[in-house]
Amino acid sequence: MTVNSPLTDLKGIGPELAKKYALLGLHTVGELIDNFPRRYDDYSVATSIADIRPGLVTITARIHHATTRYIRRGMQITEAIAGGDDGSVKLVWFNQPYRAASIKADQDYFISGVYELKSQRFSITNPSLELATEFPLNTARIVPIYRETKGLVSRQIRQALNQVLPVIATLTETLPVWLRDERGLMQRSDAILGIHFPDSSEHLQTVRRRLGFEEVFELTLAALMNKRQHQQEISVTVPFEEQIARKFVASLPFSLTNAQRRVGWQIFLDMERVQPMNRLVEGDVGSGKTVVAAMAAVMAMSQGWQTVLMAPTELLARQHADTLYTLLQPLKLDSSIILLVGSQKKLQKDKARAAIASGQAKLMIGTQALIQDSVEMHKLALVIIDEQHRFGVDQRQKLQVKAGHMPHVLSLTATPIPRSLALTLYGELDVSVLAEKPKGREPITTEIVSPNSRKQLYAKIDDELAAGRQMFVVCPLISVSTSLKLRSAEEVFKEMKTKDFKHRRVGLLHGKLKADEKQLIMQQFVRHELDILVATTVIEVGVDVPNASIMLIEGAERFGLAQAHQLRGRVGRGSDAGYCYLMLSDSKPPSRRLRALETSQDGFKLAELDLELRGPGAIYGTMQHGQLDLRIAKLSDTELIADARTSAQEFLDGPNDLLQYPELLSHVNRLRSLTNLN
C-alpha cells in the first residue's frame, strides 16, 4: 500500500463508503493522511467512578445489564450500567441499538463521553467504548475529531487511519536534516502520526510546532523565490515627472494625506526602475486608495503609456470609471478613459477594443472582460488590480501577457491584514499601508441593538431619512432559510416596503440579480431615487454613495469583524455623520467581536482581534485565498514565524540545492503557482 492507493484498498471501505469520503475530498491513502483533525477531545485522563464529575470523562469498567427499548416512534434508547469496585454509573445511547448486543461480558472497557444531567439523573451520554488495550483509538486518549458528512463520522476515519500507520511511517521528509536538527524539530513521519494520534498535550504541542514551522517555511520560500524571479524580469521605465505630479495634486478638490503622499512617492520610484513594480497598497476603508492609484495612472498616461484598472465586479468597475473620469477631467485626460465590462452591447465592446488596440484609450477600466483573447493592448505599462485577492493567478497572468513584457503591477486591498499575516501571505510583494484617513472624515457612530429595540431604532432612522439621508440594510441571507433563524434580504425588503417604511422608497439588491438589474438599482440609489437599499454583502467593497449615512446590519453576529467593518465603511463618506447599527438576531448578550466593533474604528486592530479569535481562516476567507490557508501554524506565534522566515532566507542564501529535496520542491512549486503574480 502507498499514498497513491485508493481508499477502497482499506478494510471496511467499499464503493458506497468511498463516495462519502469523496464528499470530503478524500480519494487516496495520501489524502486521508493529509486530512488533519479540526479539533480534539481530551479523554486521556482516566477517572475513578467514585471521583467522576460533569464534563468529558474516561473511566475503565465492566458493563452490565445492557437493554434497548423504544421511547417513541423513531427513537430507541440503550441503557447499561458500568461498574467496578469503586462504584457504578449509568450509560445511555440514543438510536444505537447494536450497543447492547456488541458488549462482551467479563471484559474491561475504556468508556469515554460526556457525564451530564439527563432526565433528572446523571449519566454518560453516547459514550465511546473500546476494549482496554495499549493503543485505543476512540477512548482513553486525546481523540481527533475530523470533518464529517452524513454516513461518515470521525470514528470511521480513525479506524481507516489506524490501517495506514505503516504508510505514515514511510512518508518522505520535507525539511533538510541540518535544518531539523538546528531548530530542534521532529521528523515529518513522526509529526504526521502525532497530529492524528497524539500521546499527550505536550506531544501535540511539539507536533504542531514541527508542522507549523514547515507550513511557514514552505510559504516563505515560495514567496522569496517568486520575488527573486520577478526582480530578474525587465519592464518599461516610467520616469518621475515632477510637473505632472504637481499638476494632478493641485487639481484635486481635497488635500492629500501624508500617507497618500508617502505611498505615491514609493510607487513613482518603483515605476522608474527597469525591474517591474510588484506592490500591494493596503488601506482601511476610506483611506484614499483610488486617488493613489490615479496618481500612478496619470504618470503613465501623461507619457503615452496605457494603464489597466481591473475590478472584481461590474458595479465597482463602473464606479471607478465615474470617479476617475471626475479626477482626470481637469487634466484633459478624461477622453482617454474606456470602460469594458461584460454587460455592454456588442457595438460598445467593439468600439472599446478598437480604442484599446489603437492606443487611443490610455486608461482601460473593467472586469474580466479586459483579459479576453479579443482584447489587444497597444502600449501597456501599468496594471492596477483592485481587491487583487479576488482574482486567480491564471487571470492575472493573462492580463500581464497582453503587455508583451512584464508591466508594473499595483494591487489594492481594502481588507486590513495583520502585519504577521501580510508578511507570510504576501512575502513576494512590497507592501504599503495607508493608515491615515482624509481630513474631515468623522468617526462612524456604532451601536449594538437588541431586536426588542427595533421600533425605537426605526423611529430614529426615519428622522434621518426625513432629513434627506439614505440607508443601507445588509442581511446575511438572500431568501428565508428553514435551518437558520435569520432575517433574509427578501423578507426585510417586503417588511420595510409594506409596513415600517412604506412611506419611503425601498430597493432590493443581491447577487442573484442580473448585472444590468444590479446596475440599475445601484444607480437609482446613487441618484437618490431610493431612500433605503436592502442588500446582501454585494455592497461590501467599493460602493460609494456619499449621501448614505446609515448602515443597518441584520444578524450582525453572523459577520466576521473584518467584513462588518467593511460594511460600516460604506457610510459616513460624505459631509454628514455616519451611523452603523448592529442588529442582533436575539436578545442574548453580544459577543466580544461586536463589542470591539462598537468601540473601535481601526480596521487593523480589528483584523488582529479577528485573527486572535477566529484564526487566519477568517481573513483568508475574506480574501478568498483558501488554498493558502495555514492549517497548523498560528500567526500569533511570532517566534515560530520568525524562525521559519529566517530559515527560508538562510536556505536560499546558502549553498542549498532544492532539487536535493524533491518533496520540499513539490510543495514549494505548488505554493509558487498559487501565490505567483508573474
Q: List, for residues 632-661, the tens digit of each pLDDT value.
A: 877 667 788 888 888 999 999 988 889 888
Counted domains in the chain: 4
Same domain for 331 and 374? yes
Same domain for 315 and 347? yes
Q: Could you report the per-residue pLDDT of 235-271, keeping only the tens digit for each?
A: 899 999 999 999 999 999 889 999 999 999 999 999 9
Q: Could you report the per-residue pLDDT of 598-612, keeping only the tens digit for each?
A: 888 877 778 777 766
Q: Does 401 map to a domain?
A: yes
Cell numbers that stand for 264 in this block? 505615491
Residue 179 contacts residue 160 (beta carbons within 8 Å): no
CA dist list (Å): 629 to 219, 621, 634, 664, 676: 10, 9, 11, 18, 16
Q: Indicate the residue among 600, 629, 663 that finishes a domain.
A: 600
Cell numbers that stand for 426 in this block? 504576501
What single DSSP character describes residue 361?
-
Q: Does 340 map to a domain?
A: yes
Same domain for 59 and 36? no
Q: Could you report the per-residue pLDDT of 543-579, keeping only the tens digit for each?
A: 678 889 999 999 998 887 878 888 888 888 777 889 9
Same domain for 130 and 161? no
pLDDT of residue 368: 80
Q: Does 214 map to a domain?
A: no
Q: Does 517 map to a domain?
A: yes
Same domain for 456 and 551? yes
Q: State the pTM of this model.
A: 0.71
Same domain for 495 and 354? no
Q: Does 176 map to a domain?
A: no
What single DSSP character describes residue 500?
I
CATH number assigned to the domain comprising residue 331:
3.40.50.300
Q: Cα–Cα–Cα angle for 643, 673, 374, nearest 5°? A: 150
Supply the range of the domain harboring residue 591: 445-600
Q: Does 671 map to a domain?
A: no
CA dist list (Å): 611 to 83, 312, 431: 46, 25, 19
pLDDT of residue 419: 63
Q: Does 660 map to a domain?
A: no
Helix 603-614 to helix 592-599 angle (10° resolution) is 170
Beta-strand ranges (E) seen in 322-390 are: 337-340, 363-366, 380-386
pLDDT of residue 677: 40
Same domain for 384 and 531? no
The mean of the pLDDT values for the chain is 86
Query: What is the C-alpha to C-alpha distance for residues 487 and 484, in angstroms, rounded to an integer?
Result: 9
Q: Could you report the per-residue pLDDT of 68-97, keeping only the tens digit for each?
A: 888 777 788 999 999 888 888 999 998 888
More confident: 623 or 410: 410
Percent of the chain with pLDDT over 70: 92
CATH number assigned to the domain comprising residue 59:
2.40.50.140
Same domain for 559 and 457? yes
Same domain for 470 and 573? yes
pLDDT of residue 134: 73
pLDDT of residue 381: 94
Q: Does 495 map to a domain?
A: yes
Any bridge partners for residue 477, and if so which?
Answer: 488
Same domain for 261 and 401? yes
Same domain for 344 and 460? no
pLDDT of residue 48: 87
Same domain for 491 and 577? yes
Percent of the chain with pLDDT over 90: 43
More confident: 317 or 519: 317
Residue 452 contacts residue 427 (beta carbons within 8 Å): no
